[in-house]
């Protein structure tokens, strides 16, 4: 559903009235499966355009630092250290269980799950669904991916992931079917959307234990032959599970979930063009399936960094931070917060200075550019921008592009013909970015989130360099307007010495998908 309001000078009073009434009606807009949340509302295209422009071209908030960054010099030694791969910390991938996989002769019945969120949240849900099916000795139906309310992508599991590979890798662990047999064909998303159904489980608590599923879901499966769990995001605990269940989750995440061939082929083409820029033809060739160098052949290849820049309007508004767009932008974001979250944004109670000092403001394109420059990346660095949509568009990104003129993205590297299969499909666009990110020399994320968490974990598993910005440190540094470039650079380098992908042992309640050691890894 799309709700649009266009305010004008003549209709200002009516527009203001509609804006006040909208929060009253929003709670009645439930998803077909009967659960609503603030994240659902964030998918509504609410256009609250006042009589002035929503935002002005942002001015640099760190002009002194920016001038120094544009004049920076990096020595060959510094560059060499920067690009040096991570040292081996005596850990290795261990996704296979020490217990030989086995399937009981008979399945208890079928398990369906309906997954909310974007690509990476759904990815984690798929891993959990396999684990729950194993716990219950049930047959898993290929998970149903809900249409994401923010990105509005209707891509299915089979549109994104290689389903035959998925089934084959897990064939000795659980039974998986692409669709239900005819006897259960009634068990559909539409069926559960129209009324309360005995076979639907909607009470699964966040981080539920294995015993909860055995006590509450298994009886349904045994009675009806099927149970459908919705919602199913973050519905399985990370603690107190048998090691073979934990290892199975690892196996799904790191081995079974592989993107479909055309995503991998396009990803390989982009990686090739980043490593061999002289061969880049602006994406003119549409035959990227047969394109030149092997992405795993590093001889003579150039290096590149992937920057995940999540700076969309939802994030900017929810953070309640000031991003340099002036009064117009601040008012527009405040109105957006009121409409979407109806005042339930804790951050809005704090000043911008308080939020920044606590590290609660996402880094702007300008700030992430200053971070990378301070770490030693020079203006010859090839930077790939992994981002769906940046609030403020090219004007917001312009400063970052000044600092890193060799910055590329999907649009600059691939032709419109090559992008045709993924155009307008947020999950497929994110899949390409994920694939390129996994093949980069260094990955940096400008703000925490599901893609950040998934890639940090996956690259840790593969022992790949990943720089995690220290948000509190950077927030405090950017608040200091008298800091010289030298002082800023020294603080940045020192503060990120141990934030480059080194193994961090998972603590209780932390996700194995972000912290794969020790559940998914063994000490060599």
Q: What is the pLDDT of residue 20?
A: 41
Overall domain count for the chain: 1
Q: What is the residue-wise DSSP string for 142-194?
A: -PEEPPPTTT-----HHHHB-HHHHHHHTTTT--EESS--GGGTT--HHHHHH
Structure tokens that stand for 165 in this block: 């590979």
What are the pLDDT digits (tens) for 134-185?
999 999 999 999 987 767 889 999 999 999 999 999 999 999 999 999 999 9
Q: What is the pLDDT of residue 448?
A: 83
Residue 315 lies in a domain: no
What are the pLDDT digits (tens) for 213-252?
999 999 999 999 999 999 999 999 999 999 999 999 999 9
> 7 vs 251, which has greater pLDDT?
251
Q: What is the pLDDT of residue 377?
A: 96
Q: Are strands 91-93 and 521-523 parallel, antiparallel or unpaired?
A: antiparallel
Residue 337 lies in a domain: no
Residue 510 lies in a domain: no
Q: Give CA–CA dist 127/253, Å, rounded.
A: 6
In 3-state terms, what secondary structure has residue 302? coil
Q: What is the pLDDT of residue 88?
A: 87
Query: 182 and 21 in contact (C-beta within 8 Å)?
Result: no
Secondary-structure percent of the chain, ordered helix, strand, coil, rounded to 5? 45, 10, 50
What are the pLDDT digits (tens) for 253-280?
999 999 999 999 999 999 999 999 976 5
Residue 223 lies in a domain: yes
Closest alpha carbon to 120 in 386, 313, 385:
386
Arithmetic mean of pLDDT, 25-40: 40
Report residue 300's pLDDT band, with 50, 70 and 90 as the boundaries.
Answer: low
What are the pLDDT digits (tens) for 283-297?
444 455 444 445 455
Arithmetic mean of pLDDT, 46-53: 39
DSSP single-letter state for residue 259: B
Residue 237 lies in a domain: yes
Q: 384 pairs with which residues across the strands?
A: 306, 408
Residue 524 has pLDDT above 60, yes or no: yes
Residue 159 lies in a domain: yes
In 3-state terms, what secondary structure has residue 521? strand
Closest alpha carbon to 383 in 361, 363, 412:
412
Closest alpha carbon to 143 in 129, 155, 162:
129
What are the pLDDT digits (tens) for 92-102?
999 887 777 77
pTM of the entire structure?
Answer: 0.87
Average pLDDT, the chain: 86
Structure tokens that stand for 187 in this block: 């068990």
Residue 44 lies in a domain: no
Q: What is the pLDDT of residue 297?
A: 53
Q: Which domain holds residue 217?
A: 110-256
Q: Give CA–CA dist 73/203, Å, rounded.
A: 58
What are the pLDDT digits (tens) for 417-448?
999 999 999 999 999 999 999 999 999 998 88
Q: What is the pLDDT of residue 278?
A: 79
Of 42-46, 237-241, 512-516, the range with the lowest mean pLDDT is 42-46
Residue 114 lies in a domain: yes
What are the pLDDT digits (tens) for 347-377?
989 999 999 999 999 999 999 999 999 999 9
Exposure letters 284-307 (e unless 16+ CB within 10 A, then b): ebeebeebebebeeeeebeebbbb
Residue 49 has pLDDT above 90, yes or no: no
> Phi/psi at 167 (nearest 5 deg)?
-65, -40
Residue 387 has pLDDT above 60, yes or no: yes
Query: 3 and 45 in contact (C-beta within 8 Å)?
Result: yes
Residue 41 has pLDDT above 50, yes or no: no
All residues at 6 or more sequence positions from 89 whose CB lies less than 8 Å from its CB, including other chains: 463, 502, 503
């Amino acid at each position: 559903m799309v709700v649009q309001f266009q305010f004008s000078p003549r209709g200002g009073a009516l527009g203001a009235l509609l804006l006040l009434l909208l929060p009253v009606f929003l709670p009645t807009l439930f998803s077909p499966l009967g659960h609503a949340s603030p994240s659902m509302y964030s998918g509504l295209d609410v256009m609250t355009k006042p009589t002035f422009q929503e935002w002005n071209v942002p001015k640099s908030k760190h002009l002194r630092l920016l001038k120094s960054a544009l004049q920076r010099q990096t020595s060959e030694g510094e560059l060499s250290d920067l690009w040096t791969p991570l040292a081996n910390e005596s850990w290795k991938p261990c996704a296979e269980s020490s217990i030989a996989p086995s399937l009981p002769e008979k399945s208890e019945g079928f398990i369906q799950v309906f997954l909310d969120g974007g690509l990476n949240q759904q990815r984690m849900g798929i891993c959990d669904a396999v684990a729950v099916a194993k716990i219950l000795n049930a047959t898993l139906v290929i998970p149903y991916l809900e249409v994401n309310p923010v990105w509005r992508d209707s891509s299915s599991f089979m549109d994104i992931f290689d389903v035959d590979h998925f089934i084959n890798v897990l064939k000795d662990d659980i039974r998986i079917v692409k669709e239900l047999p005819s006897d259960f064909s009634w068990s559909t998303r539409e069926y559960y959307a129209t009324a309360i159904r005995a076979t639907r489980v909607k009470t699964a608590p966040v981080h539920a234990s294995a015993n909860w599923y055995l006590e509450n879901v298994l009886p349904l499966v045994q009675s009806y032959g099927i149970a459908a769990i919705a919602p199913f995001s973050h519905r399985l605990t990370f603690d107190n599970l048998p090691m073979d269940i934990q290892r199975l989750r690892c196996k799904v995440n790191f081995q079974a979930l592989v993107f479909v061939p055309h995503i991998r082929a396009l990803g390989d083409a982009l990686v090739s063009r980043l490593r061999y820029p002289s061969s880049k033809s602006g994406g003119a060739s549409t035959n990227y399936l047969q394109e030149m160098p092997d992405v795993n052949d590093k001889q003579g290849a150039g290096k590149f960094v992937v920057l995940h820049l999540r700076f969309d309007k939802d994030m900017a508004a929810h953070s309640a931070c000031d991003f340099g767009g002036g009064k117009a932008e601040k008012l527009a974001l405040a109105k957006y917060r009121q409409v979407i979250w109806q005042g339930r944004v804790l951050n809005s109670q704090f000043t911008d200075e308080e939020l920044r000092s606590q590290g609660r403001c996402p880094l702007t394109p300008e700030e992430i550019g200053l971070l990378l420059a301070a770490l030693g990346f020079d203006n010859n660095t090839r930077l790939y921008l992994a981002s769906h949509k940046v609030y403020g568009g090219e004007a917001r990104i312009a400063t970052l592009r000044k600092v890193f003129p060799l910055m590329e993205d999907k649009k600059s590297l691939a032709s419109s013909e090559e992008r045709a299969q993924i155009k307008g499909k947020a999950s497929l666009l994110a899949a390409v970015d994920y694939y390129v990110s996994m093949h980069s020399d260094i990955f940096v994320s400008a703000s925490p989130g599901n893609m950040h968490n998934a890639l940090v974990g996956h690259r840790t598993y593969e022992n790949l360099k990943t720089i995690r910005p220290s948000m509190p440190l950077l927030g405090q540094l950017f608040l200091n307007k008298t800091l010289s470039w030298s002082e800023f650079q020294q603080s940045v380098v020192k503060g990120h010495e141990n934030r480059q992908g080194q193994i961090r042992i998972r603590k209780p309640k932390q996700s194995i998908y972000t912290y794969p050691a020790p559940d998914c890894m063994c000490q060599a």
